[in-house]
């Protein structure tokens, strides 16, 4: 089930009241705030016990005794089992097999990855959680979780450009802030929205421009956003983007779209929608290696001017493997460059 369909059906509460088995297929980063609000809503809608059972920390025998217990007077509880993708492979396989065959009287909910979701039968409601949401998603989230301030949320959502995408948890955070807004949406929009939303959009665009090698667009945007974050942030950010991009290409070339989708969080849509085919994965690998050495140098007292060198080398294609020179020689060159 698409996320928007889930939200629309849940607003009328019929879905939440009737759902016995729900699996949320989650991206790489778990939206903790969203699931916190979801469990609150479940308790309010159903009026029944909503309990979180930690598969990683609590004893297996205790957890099974809870969900297998027959409720008094046929009372049905909702047991939240959390994110099983955090478990070890052995423990995850064991719990997936047990949960999928569960025939008890209580309702269960949990988060799984794409591959594990295929192991659950049709009696399970599958909800795909997107890595980012748009303006229409934001309005639906507001209707579901904060119905009493619908007018304020509608005003707030109209300040979003149609193209803006933010993480699900950032949308929930905005809704939290809006609870103390009163009617002063304008002040919130001018003072807080740029920090909470526009920065996310800028990060998304700056990575898009880098990967697509649109140097003019990149440096124009970089001049505005570069100083908004410390250098250590940018090193961690580019390390993550380059690693995800390289891994995505490798997985797609192996036709492993499931794992590729799993690590695609934060990657630009243009890259995912075919742009990756135009990129040399070895170039990304070498750029990531440069970042690694830059991080090492900074932690040992060197300057951070290496970021500008990273951009210059990337746009000039200097991280691409030169056929006239061996890969090992190229790697040594990048290491030496990052220590200059």
Q: Which tens digits make up the pLDDT trace of 24-79?
A: 998 777 788 899 889 888 888 877 788 999 898 889 999 999 998 875 545 788 99
Residues 152-168, mean pLDDT to the nearest whole number: 71
Give the per-residue pLDDT at 331: 38
Torsion of CA 130, 136, 137, 138, to 10 degrees: 130
List the alpha helices (DSSP H) in 182-305. Answer: 185-191, 193, 199-211, 215-225, 231-253, 257-262, 269-272, 281-299
Cβ pair 198, 266 in contact under 8 A:
no
Distance of alpha carbon 235 from alpha carbon 288, whole angstroms: 10
Q: Which tens digits make up the pLDDT trace of 222-272?
A: 998 888 777 777 887 898 899 989 999 999 999 888 778 777 877 888 899
Nearest to 42 by CA among 114, 162, 144: 144
Cβ pair 245, 275 in contact under 8 A:
no
């Amino acid at each position: 089930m698409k996320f928007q369909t889930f939200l629309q059906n849940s607003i009328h509460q019929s879905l939440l009241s009737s759902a016995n088995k729900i699996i949320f297929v989650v991206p790489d980063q778990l939206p903790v705030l969203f699931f916190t609000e979801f469990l609150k809503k479940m308790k309010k809608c159903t009026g029944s016990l909503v309990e979180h059972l930690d598969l990683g920390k609590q004893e297996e025998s205790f957890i099974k005794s809870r969900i297998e217990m027959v409720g008094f007077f046929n009372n049905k509880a909702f047991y939240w089992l959390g994110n099983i993708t955090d478990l070890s492979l052995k423990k995850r396989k064991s719990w997936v097999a047990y949960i999928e065959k569960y025939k008890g009287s209580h309702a269960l909910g949990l988060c799984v990855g794409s591959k594990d979701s295929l192991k659950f039968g049709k009696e399970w409601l599958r909800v795909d959680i997107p890595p980012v949401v748009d303006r229409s998603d934001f309005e639906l989230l507001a209707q579901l979780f904060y119905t009493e301030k619908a007018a304020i949320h509608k005003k707030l959502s109209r300040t979003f450009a149609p193209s803006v995408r933010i993480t699900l948890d950032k949308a929930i955070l905005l809704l939290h802030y809006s609870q103390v807004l009163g009617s002063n949406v304008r002040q919130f929009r001018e003072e807080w929205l740029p920090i909470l939303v526009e920065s996310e959009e800028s990060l998304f665009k700056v990575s898009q421009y880098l990967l697509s090698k649109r140097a003019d667009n990149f440096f124009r945007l970089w001049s505005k956003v570069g100083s908004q974050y410390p250098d250590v942030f940018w090193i961690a950010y580019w390390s993550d983007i380059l690693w995800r991009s390289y891994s995505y290409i490798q997985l797609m070339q192996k036709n492993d779209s499931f794992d590729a989708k799993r690590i695609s969080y934060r990657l630009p849509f243009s890259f995912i929608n075919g742009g990756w085919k135009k990129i040399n994965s070895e170039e990304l690998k070498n750029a990531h290696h440069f970042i690694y050495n830059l991080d090492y140098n900074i932690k040992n007292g060197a300057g951070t001017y290496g970021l500008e060198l990273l951009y210059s080398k990337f746009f000039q294609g200097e991280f691409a493997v030169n056929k006239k020179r061996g890969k090992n020689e190229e790697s040594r060159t990048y290491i030496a460059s990052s220590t200059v």
